[in-house]
Amino acid sequence: MIKLALFILFLPLVSFAFQIFSFRRFEEKKGEWVSVGIQFVTLIMSLVMFGMMLSKSDPNFSLELHQSWLDLGLFKIDLGVYIDNITVIMLVVVATISSLVHLYSTAYMAGDVRYSRYFGFLGIFTFSMNGIVLANSLFMIYIFWELVGLSSYLLIGHWWEKDSAANAGKKAFITNRVGDIGMFTGMLIIATVLGTFNFQLIAERIHEGVWAANAGMLFGGIDPHKLLTIAGVLVFMGAVGKSAQFPLHVWLPDAMEGPTPVSALIHAATMVAAGVYLTVRIFPFLTADAMATIAFVGGFTAIYAATIAITQNDIKKVLAYSTVSQLGYMIMALGTGAYVAGFFHLVTHAMFKGALFLASGSVIHAMHHSLHKLHDHETDAQDMRNMGGLRTKMPITFGVFMVTTAAISGIPLFSGFLSKDAILAGTWAYAANVHDGWLAHLHLAWILPVFGFGAAAITAFYMFRLIFMTFYGEAKQPQIFKHIKESPKVMTIPLVVLAILSLFFVWTIPSVNPLSDHGWFTALIQAPESAVTTGAAFDLEHFTHGLHAAHIPAMVTSLLVAGLGILLAVLVYLLNKISAEKLAIKLGALYRGSFNKWYMDEFYINGIIRPFLKGCGAVGRFDLDFYDHYLINGWGRNTKRTSKGVGLADDLIVDGAVNFAGIIFQWLGWTLKFVQTGKIQNYLIFVLIGAALLYVVNVF
């Protein structure tokens, strides 16, 4: 199994190397099929692993292989792979989406200028993502964390001729860096106290009390429990950046500048889920306070991004904010302790959001082709206001869109319902179970379910708004509409596969109850015991009871709010009973706020970047005017003056002596030069005289 895992890890790297080092030769030929083939091989391998996992059906199954990488005596870094059920499921998810996206891209990216480079970067992304999934330590996860960041940067900037794409790439990279600094600091704190990066060892040592024993001594008498909270939140900052949580979410909508299959693979299904995966991995050693922080960050992100998604007109932007919102859900779930639900939502979301993005890519592809035929380079192919009525022209895409929208909106019979419902039940149970601490005041914890249900309603609304604007109604641009046609098979097949994976029974077999998430998934994934022993630790048993109690009310409520959202969308966008424009004017400031993403980008630019640059300028001027002018140049001037004096003494005394020696030797040389006649016979005479003299001296 380890061998299989290593193959799955490194095969995409082979694909990368192949594409990068052979792109000249295969530019015109069918080089992409090597990459696609490799992806499908890894898919088969991961399915084999999946089958092995199912046949074992052991929730506590785990395997670890590690190798010393850096040995500094007391401090060692091991690299290795850790495999448990979560890993296997993640591998299958990554391989599935990646191989389908590869297949899809052969049509979507056909004729692109950097076609093979694109496939190469997909390869290195898949490699790094598998690395994150298989990592057994924080350190190794960090390495691959940065690698996915890099491949994300490269792929967002795939069309770097466009300024917006190049800038989006930079923005993604830099914003992630902010989170990663936190993550790295957290890692270092943990490694300093425990002397290891390994997940299992960290949990073990915390449980054994090593943390409580060491932390205070190493960090100036700080309360170990507080330090663990700080460390947990710091590591979680990495997830905030990568999973686009508030306030570092700003890069993800911009990242939609990349090719749409990339958005599906990286910015919807896998890489952004890495943050959630990281949180899953560090879950056992999060303190209650850290978890509360995580829950609130996730909850706020969920509803905040959802409100923005309502007013966006760009089809990919809507999906991007929807992704941010859904990631918020997962993070919130983990924060409230709904471990299984959070991870479950990660997996189901990967499927239906991947399908949504690929389907939107299919629409955009069709739009592009139509615009191309009309020689229209002005109209925005991604603007939903230019679409409408597409369902007759693109039946497969439309069908997939319907299924996946139903899934994300949490309608029964689809996978999203199961996972979302579990999360909402989790928040409910969490709120109901908080009895002490600061969360209990004013029933603060009840904000979380409110966020959750609110976001669920809004999600249903904006997703159906998207469907109605795109596929229903009349064609807003009849000219364009005329040339729209369904995408080729290599694009629709991945769509259909992912849509099938968004149906409920895939996840609940052998059970076929559409209202309950019991099945193989919940049987294999179980929340780990918290390693934290002190303070208000998360109590698994208590929580599980609460979860059962909250299940039914949460489900009913979620169905209600989702229905409400859909109803509103039907009224506004399908039946036009309520005018969207009037509503926008009525809501005024709220509408403008949502449309402008609550001015978050402006806040960053005006509130942080500009003042920072101004500060830099001031420091620079200080440097130039004061420091350079007076200190450095003044020092220079004084040195120059001193040097002049010293130079004079040098000229007269030292040089005089040197010149005198030179003159003497010049005279000597001038005298001796007459001996050097250049005639060989003279020299021979001298040799003979010399030899004779030597003989005479020796003998007498």
Partner 1 sequence: MDHLNSYLVLSAILFSLGLYTVVTRRNAVAILMGVELILNAANINFVAFSKFVTHNLDGHLMSVFIIMLAAAEAAVALAIVLNLYNDRGHINVDEANALKQ
Partner 2 sequence: MADFIFWVIWALIVASAALVAFGNNLIHSVFALMGTFLGVAGIYIFLNADFLAVTQIVVYVGGILVLLVFGIMLTNQITTARISQSSVQKGLGLVVVLGVAAIILTAVLPHDWVGSTLPMAFTDTVSGIGKLLFTDYLILFEIASVLLLGALIGAATLARKEL
Binding site for partner 2 (CB under 8 A): 679, 681-682, 685, 688-689, 691-692, 695-696, 699
Alpha helix positions (H), 570-629? 580-587, 589-595, 600-602, 610-621
Whole-number minimum distance, CB 692 to partner 1, in Å? 12
Contact predicate 276/328, CB 8 Å: no
Which residue, 44 or 692, is less far from partner 1 as judged by CB? 692
Among partner 1, partner 2, none, residue 696 binds (CB under 5-8 Å by kind): partner 2
- Select from 61-69, 286-294, 325-333, 672-680 the region that touches partner 1 (CB under 8 A): 672-680
Least Å distance between CB 700 and partner 1? 20
For residue 694, state whether it binds partner 1 (rule: CB under 8 A): no
Instruction: Provide, rounded to whole angstroms, the least separation between the CB of residue 675 and partner 1.
Output: 10
Instruction: Give me the least distance between CB of 655 and partner 1, in Å please.
Output: 28
If the CB atoms of residues 646 and 689 are measured against partner 2, the closer one turns out to be: 689
Considering the complex, state which of residue 624 and residue 688 has its C-beta at the smaller distance from partner 1.
Answer: 688
392: partner contacted, choices partner 1, partner 2, none (Cβ within 5-8 A by kind): none
In DSSP terms, which residues pair with 82 in a beta bridge? 64
CB 502 within 8 A of CB 407: yes
Contact in structure between 364 and 110 (CB atoms under 8 Å) = no
Nearer to partner 1, 74 or 675 (CB): 675
Closest by Cα among 119, 74, 126, 72 to 96: 126
Check residue 676 for interaction with partner 1 (CB under 8 A).
yes
| Residues 6 or more apart whose Cβ sits within 8 Å of residue 290 | 228, 229, 232, 233, 236
Cα–Cα distance for residue pair 249/276, rounded to 1 Å = 14
Q: Which of 66, 271, 22, 313 is nearest to 152 (CA)?
A: 271
Q: Let me know: does 360 contact 368? Beta carbons within 8 Å.
A: no
Q: What is the C-alpha separation between 50 and 74, in angstroms, rounded? A: 38
Q: To the nearest whole angstrom, how small is the minimum distance from the Cβ of residue 698 to partner 1?
A: 19
Place of tokens 């003044």: 634
Q: Six-digit token pair at 335?
A: 């924060």
Binding piece for partner 1, criterion CB under 8 A, among 195-203, 287-295, 589-597, 683-691: 683-691
User: In this structure, which amino acid lies at residue 141?
Assistant: I
Which is closer to partner 1, CB of 630 or CB of 686? 686
Residue 678 binds which entry of partner 1, partner 2, none, CB below 5-8 Å type-dependent: partner 1
Residue 674: CB minimum distance to partner 2, A: 15
Dihedral of CA atoms 9, 10, 11, 16 in degrees, nearest 10, equals 120
Number of amino acids touching partner 1 (CB under 8 A)? 9
Contact 299, 448 (CB under 8 A): yes
Partner interacting with residue 676 (select from partner 1, partner 2, none; CB below 5-8 Å by kind): partner 1
Binding span for partner 1 by CB under 8 A among 74-82, 87-95, 471-479, 670-678: 670-678
- Residue 685 CB, nearest distance to partner 2 (Å)? 6
Q: What residue 30 binds from partner 1, partner 2, none (CB within 5 to 8 A, per partner kind)?
A: none
Q: How many CB atoms lie within 10 A of CB 603?
A: 14
Under the binding rule (CB under 8 A), the answer on residue 699 touching partner 1 is no
Residue 689: name its binding partner from partner 1, partner 2, none (Cβ under 5 to 8 Å by kind): partner 2
| Binding residue for partner 1, selected from 657, 658, 685, 692, defined by CB under 8 A | 685
3-state secondary structure of 302: helix
C-beta neighbour count of 553 within 10 angstroms: 14
In the bound state with partner 1, the residue whose beta carbon lies nearer, of 638 and 682, is 682
Please tell me the distance from the alpha carbon of residue 349 to that of residue 423, in angstroms, as a whole number.
Answer: 13
Contact (CB, 8 A) for 506 and 261: no
Q: Is 684 in the site for partner 1 (CB under 8 A)?
A: yes
Rounded Cα distance, 271 and 69, in Å: 26
Q: What is the dihedral of CA 495, 497, 498, 500, to 10 degrees?
A: 120
Q: How near is the Cβ of 657 to partner 1 at its closest, in Å? A: 29
Asked if 681 touches partner 1 (CB under 8 A), the answer is yes
Helices (H), 598-679: 600-602, 610-621, 633-649, 655-672
Taking contact as CB under 8 A, which single stretch among the options 258-266, 573-581, 643-651, 681-689 is the one that binds partner 1?
681-689
State in angstroms the smallest separation of the CB of 679 from partner 1.
5
- The sign of the dihedral angle between the CA atoms of 398, 400, 403, 406 is negative
From partner 2, partner 1, none, interface partner of 692 (C-beta below 5 to 8 A by class): partner 2
Nearest to 269 by CA among 230, 319, 228, 337: 319
Residue whose C-alpha is closest to residue 598's, from 301, 315, 242? 301
Question: Rounded to the nearest whole angstrom, what is the least distance from the CB of residue 682 to partner 1 in the complex?
Answer: 8
Residue labelled with tokens 């295969």: 26
* Contact indicator for 109, 488 with CB cutoff of 8 Å: no
Between 575 and 696, whose beta carbon lies closer to partner 2? Answer: 696
Distance CA 578, CA 584 (A): 11
Give the type of residue at 583.
L
Q: Which of 57, 62, 659, 677 binds partner 1 (CB under 8 A)?
A: 677
| Type of residue found at 45 | M
Judged by CB, which is closer to partner 2: 164, or 682? 682
To the nearest whole angstrom, how small is the minimum distance from the Cβ of residue 695 to partner 2? 6
Q: Considering the rule CB under 8 A, would residue 679 count as an interface residue with partner 1?
A: yes
Question: How many angstroms separate the CA atoms of 494 and 502, rounded?
Answer: 12
Q: Which is nearer to partner 1, 510 or 678 (CB)?
A: 678
Give dist(CA 604, CA 594) in Å, integer.
16
Q: Smallest gap, in angstroms, from Cβ of residue 697 to partner 1?
A: 21
Rounded to a whole number of angstroms, the minimum distance from the CB of residue 672 to partner 2 is 19
Of 3, 24, 678, 700, which lies in the binding site for partner 1, with binding defined by CB under 8 A? Answer: 678
> Which of residues 392 and 677 has its CB atom nearest to partner 1 in the complex?
677
677 binds, among partner 2, partner 1, none (CB under 5 to 8 A by kind): partner 1
688 binds partner 1, rule: CB under 8 A: yes
680 binds partner 1 (CB under 8 A): yes
Least distance CB 693 / partner 2 (angstroms): 10
72 forms bridges with which residues in the sheet? Answer: 75
- Interface residue list for partner 1 (CB under 8 A): 676-681, 684-685, 688
